Structure 1
Amino acid sequence: MSEIIFIASSFAIGFFFESIFGFGGGIIAYSILSFFVEIKTAIIAGFYVGTLSSLYIVAGSHQHFEKKIFLKLILISTIGSIFGVICFIYLPVKILSLIFGLLLIFIALKNLFLEKNLDPNTELELKKKKFSFLKLKLILIGGIAQGAFGTGGPFVVNALKYDFANKSSLRTTMASYFLFCNILRMPFLLYKNEFSLTFFKEIWWIIIPVFVAIFLGHKVHLKIKPQQFKIGIGLITLIAGVKFLFY
């Protein structure tokens, strides 16, 4: 029981921050859990928590959903997510996680130091560069990471952060993306018997403190300044990169 309480606390902390910044809940939770819980157990618990949490965010903030961005994400994310699930089932995670980690650390440092104080004109130019080749690659990698670990958010957010109308549209559209990818993952995980009914009976209640954390995180989200929001994205991306290195 103490392990389940620890899992619940870890995901509540993680999704408090995801509710603020639109991603990172799984990464933060896994960063805590990896010291005490087998990583595949944490990922399966994250699948349950992440799916219901995303549904909760979408239901509560659907008015901020950006349909055009979401629809453009679907094809690339579908390919990446399916490939990622196959990697999760059949391959050791070390090689993939090392590549993901190094790439995310590079992106995070770029965000924190090179893009920290972009002027409005530069940001406008970045907004105009819709779905460049680099963005497409990051979205594909994000799909793979989402399928393999349930943690593709840092890649997708960093690819599209200048495309969203505002921070709330980023939060809601990313939640929709996570929900979509998890629905894609489900048949593969069921087919390979990765789900344990006994395990889900033990952890069903952990979504309750997570919902409370999401509610509180949204209160912070509404008050946070755009510059603080950008720094938060950079820091969570950095945490994600370091975490991937040590999967």
Structure 2
Amino acid sequence: MSGNIREYLFIIIVLFANIIEGITGFAGTMLAMPASMMLIGAEEAKVILNMVALMVSSTIAVKTYKKINRKELVKITSLMMLGMVIGLYLFAVLPVKLLSVCYGVLIIAVAVNGLASKKRMELPAGILIIIVLAAGIIHGLFLSGGALLVVYVTAVIKEKGVIRATLAPVWLMLNTIILLQDIWFGRITFHTLRLTGMCMIPVILALVLGNYLHNKIKQERFVHLTYLLLIISGVSLVI
């Protein structure tokens, strides 16, 4: 497959994944990352999807800031930053293939759990803290802590609009840290900037459509579809 075709497929994936992100408030990057890793490589995929996620999260944060649960925002961000330090270290020292397989297994587990869960889970406070720390580790590895973090936020926040509004500044702060690290280590190249620029118009379209669908259509249907797509993505990484 030629480089141009890979890039166009990558842009289509980014468009679709961010429509899902706009609807549900999570799983966009987790949905995009597996195919992106196969198309353009793990490191470039992580750099570009991080810059795209910054644009998406900042837009949602500005539009929904009045609904933010500030107490939970501080708690989530603090715990995830701690976990993210561990994740960034593991990404630097462990083989990409091993990480990819482990990541695929995690995606499948999260998706199966999401499909199987019929009601809000009641978990002990200690387990919830561990979940947020683990979400930070996964976010440091693959920018995909959201699907795990949603287990926590749905246990402590009842209204879907508040969940979406609170998660946006979390990703904004954490992804800014990752961006600064990418700049420090020279991972921001002409190629990554070019591909990020090519994604901008599709991302804007995805935000508009995702926000419209978030307000008009039952979220549960899209969440179930997202989980099914995540299973397919996870299997593609494991096999």
Question: Does the 8 A contact of 2:7 with 2:39 survive in 1?
Answer: no
SS at match of 1:61: helix
Indicate how the Cα distance of structure 1 residues 64 and 243 shifts in structure 2: closer, same or farther if over 3 A, else same: farther
Aligned length: 236
2:34: which partner in 1? 31
| Root mean square deviation, CA, Å | 2.6
Distance in 1 (alpha carbons) for counterparts of 2:234 and 2:169? 23
Identity %, equivalent residues? 24
Match of 2:211 in 1: 218
The residue correspondences of 1:52-201 to structure 2 (distance < 5 A) are 52-113=55-116, 115-116=117-118, 118=119, 123=120, 126=122, 132-201=125-194
Say whether 1:17 aligns with 2:34: no
**Residue 6 of structure 1: how far off its partner (Å):** 2.9
Distance 1:74 1:239, change over 3 A: farther
How many angstroms apart in 2 are the aligned matches of 1:111 and 1:199?
33
Structure 1: distance between partners of 2:71 and 2:229: 26
Q: Which runs of 4+ in 1 moved over 6 A?
A: none
1:127-183 residue CA offsets vs partner (Å, 9 max, x unmatched): xx5x72222122111111111211111110122213223112222222221111111
Q: What are the Cα deviations for residues 181-240 of structure 1, in whole angstroms up to 9, with x where unaligned?
A: 111212322222121145314532412211111110111111233643653564466456
Change (3 A) 1:69 1:108: same
Q: Is the aligned partner of 1:50 residue 2:34?
A: no
Q: Please give the alpha-carbon distance, in whole angstroms, between the structure 2 residues aligned to 1:107 and 1:201.
A: 33
Range that drifts further, 46-55 or 178-187: 178-187
Q: Residues 45-99 of structure 1, C-alpha deviation per residue, up to 9 Å, x if partnerless?
A: 1011011111111112222222111111122111111221222223223444444
Aligned mates of 2:98, 2:152 — CA distance in 1 = 22
Alpha-carbon distance in structure 1 between the residues aligned to 2:110 and 2:39: 28
Alpha carbons of 1:226 and 1:10: their partners in 2 closer, same or farther (altered >3 Å)?
closer
CA distance in 1, matches of 2:231, 2:217: 20
Normalised to the residue count of structure 2, the TM-score between the two structures is 0.85
SS in 2 for 1:165: coil
Unpaired runs of 5+ residues, structure 1, are: none
CA distance in 2, matches of 1:45, 1:92: 20
Partners in 2 of 1:161 and 1:13 — Cα distance?
24
Q: Secondary structure at the match of 1:36?
A: helix
Q: Equivalent residue of 1:87, what SS?
A: helix
1:28 CA displacement: 1.9
What amino acid is aligned across from residue 141 of structure 2 in structure 1? Answer: A
Return 165-174 or 143-152, whichever deviates more: 165-174
Distance 1:73 1:202, change over 3 A: closer
